[in-house]
Amino acid sequence: MALVSGYSSSEDEDSPQLSPQALKRTRVVAAPEVTADVSLTLHQQPQQTTENTSVITAGNAGFAIKETVDEHTFETQRRTFEQMGYAQGIHGDGSIVGDLTAAHRHQKRDITELRSTKKDSKRIKKRRVNKGKVGGNGDDAYAGPWAKYKSSSEDEDDDEEQHEEQESEQDQEEKKNLTSSDNDSDSEDEYEEENETTEFLGSQERDYQGRTYMHPPNDVGINLNSDSGPEECFVPKKQLHKWKGHAHGTTKITFIPKTNHLLLSCGNDSKIYLWGVYHKRELLRAFYGHTKPVRDISFNSDGKQFLSASYDKTVKLWNTETGECLARFKLTSVPNVIKFNVFNDDEFIVGLMNHKILHYSISKKEIIQTYDHHLGSINSITFLDDGETKRFVSTSEDKTARVWDLQVNIPVKLISDPTLHSMPVTRVHPSGKYFAAQSMDNTVMVFGASGRYKTNKKKLFEGHNCAGFGIGIDFSPDGKILVSGDSAGNAIFWDWKTCKVVTKLKVDTHAITQVCWNTKEVSKVALTGVDGAIYYYG
């Protein structure tokens, strides 16, 4: 081996000799010395800073404040600001940043809601070069659908005077529109105030003690003022009463909270009626003020006020006892569903056809928050109260359900699946652990009302037909019976535990779209639908 290692060539003599490098050794202390003070101290935590990390000083320019905004919403508003000169505020309160005149002209719509008009298409057509002739040469060569457009510089040289005249005319029109819109808004408010009326239609407005119909009766065999409902409920068997209802169909019915001695209804005749449930069961009061069909109604927690949403793009707040209109809210789209905030009677949430959900303050008459993640028209809004969080679930025509924290425009949970259908109606189970959803595939699905909001695959209710209607559902007060309408005019009752059909009642020849269980009675249900008549079964 020594001979081999000592052998070298002539090339090796020319190259420099490399000295072998020494290996580095790292010493590892397996048992370090630990003093008593160090062993008894807690784990070190990151040092807390008292400075506000959300504020970044930017020299003489001011301050930059960090905000958490959804990426889709931010990109939409950024594109809107770049192309149109304005954008909506990040807090979702309806405020505008930028050119207020342009925002007013475009009705505060973002870039995704705008569509090209006929004037835009004509202006683009004028910029197009002549298509040419078949067999032509040079400038007359045939270009067909591949013809180019004139550059903006050429257009400015050719039509500079026309543009100046058009701009001056547009400025004058904008000023006229601004002044006329202000005058129109004032005149509309005055018109609405004059147009909103009420009429008492009952036989007696006050009893011998001077009490109105807001006082529940005491001689009906049950205590309507008690907080507890019946311990066990049964399926109704026969029709007890039939109210005339609304012409051209009734769209929504709901009992007054806590006592259930009054029934409120709205319909396609743009009217709202209040009915008595006990004694004479007569029509007590009518509310007039909407110019188009009323889509939805909602009581507050004590029943002294209620909201109405109509196809005339308005939401109105009414006094249940006097019929006075207390407040009006003008919307930019048609409302589909409206709900009082169950945690605060001074707020309400309305779902619109333009895919948005608006959160309003009644006293301030302004938008608190906008929820805009849905991709289709809003169908339903239902509040979930598990004792810890304040949330609500919304369903849409985009075949999804989304769970939201109040005043946070980011969904907590997105319920989406390729097998899901549109869910027009949702209801919370009396236990608060589940919520049921009417699905357009002729089934009623059940989801968890807390935690992961998972689909309960063990509970699927079948046996009825929706056929394009938004069929309502409801639970009995004890939670053991689920009731739904039907497109054939039936009322279907299921057993909650077994998911089997208990009874199918033939109510009407037309579709039954609304069902509402009287929570003070063991077996009394109000039903209505396309025909307009309101049926009371027990």
Q: From its phi and psi, is residue 383 left (phi > 0), alpha (psi between -120 and 50) or beta?
A: beta
**What pLDDT score was predicted for residue 191?**
41
Three-state secondary structure string covering 515-529: EEECCCCCCCEEEEE
**Where would I find the H helices in 41-151?**
71-84, 100-105, 118-126
For residue 473, what are the contacts with CB-CB under 8 A and spacing of at least 6? 425, 427, 436, 438, 444, 482, 483, 484, 485, 515
Give the pLDDT confidence score for residue 144 in this predicted structure.
72
Provide the 3-class DSSP secondary structure of residue 14: helix
Distance between CA 55 and CA 75 in Å, rounded? 23
Report the C-alpha gap between 283 and 268 in whole angstroms. 18
Q: Are 508 and 528 in contact (CB under 8 A)?
A: no
Round to whole Å and give the CA distance between 193 and 174. Answer: 28
CB of 318 closer than 8 Å to CB of 326: yes
Residue pLDDT, tens place only, 183-215: 444 444 444 444 899 999 999 999 888 999 999
Q: What are the tens digits of pLDDT across the range 54-104?
A: 455 555 656 666 777 778 788 888 888 888 888 888 766 678 888 888 888
Identify the band that residue 42 occupies on the pLDDT scale cut at 50, 70 and 90: very low
Can you give 317-350 as a three-state secondary structure string?
EEECCCCCEEEEEECCCCEEEEEECCCCCCEEEE
Q: What is the 3-state secondary structure of 440-455?
A: CCCEEEEEECCCCCCE
Q: What is the pLDDT of residue 444?
A: 97
Q: Which residues pair with 492 in a beta bridge?
A: 484, 504
Q: How far is Cα 485 from Cα 492, in angstroms, rounded to an integer?
A: 6
Domains of the chain: 82-111+166-195 (no CATH), 198-537 (2.130.10.10)
Q: How many beta carbons lie within 10 A of that of residue 458, not counting itself?
A: 7
The mean pLDDT value of the chain amounts to 83
DSSP 472-493: -EEE-TTSSEEEE-BTTSEEEE
Structure tokens at 31: 């048992």
C-beta of residue 471 within 8 angstroms of C-beta of residue 422: no
Residue 31: per-residue pLDDT: 62
Question: On the CB side of 507, how many CA atoms lie within 13 Å of its CA?
Answer: 37
Distance in angstroms between the alpha carbons of the first and the last residue of the chain = 110
| Predicted TM-score (pTM) of this structure | 0.67
| H-helix segments, 196-271 | none
Contacts of 459 by beta carbon, 8 Å cutoff, 6+ apart: 434, 445, 446, 496, 499
Confidence label for 50 from pLDDT (cuts 50, 70 and 90): very low
Render pLDDT for 249-258 as a digit per residue (tens, 0 to 9): 999 999 999 9
What does the DSSP 8-state code read for residue 16? P
Torsion (CA) 67, 70, 72, 73 in degrees, nearest 10? -60
Alpha carbon distance 154, 166 (integer Å): 18
C-alpha distance from residue 523 to each of 255, 346, 480, 483, 518 (Å): 15, 34, 12, 11, 8
Pick 470 or 95 by higher pLDDT.
470
407-464 pLDDT per residue, tens: 999 999 999 999 999 999 999 999 999 999 999 999 999 999 998 999 999 999 999 9
pLDDT of amino acid 180: 47
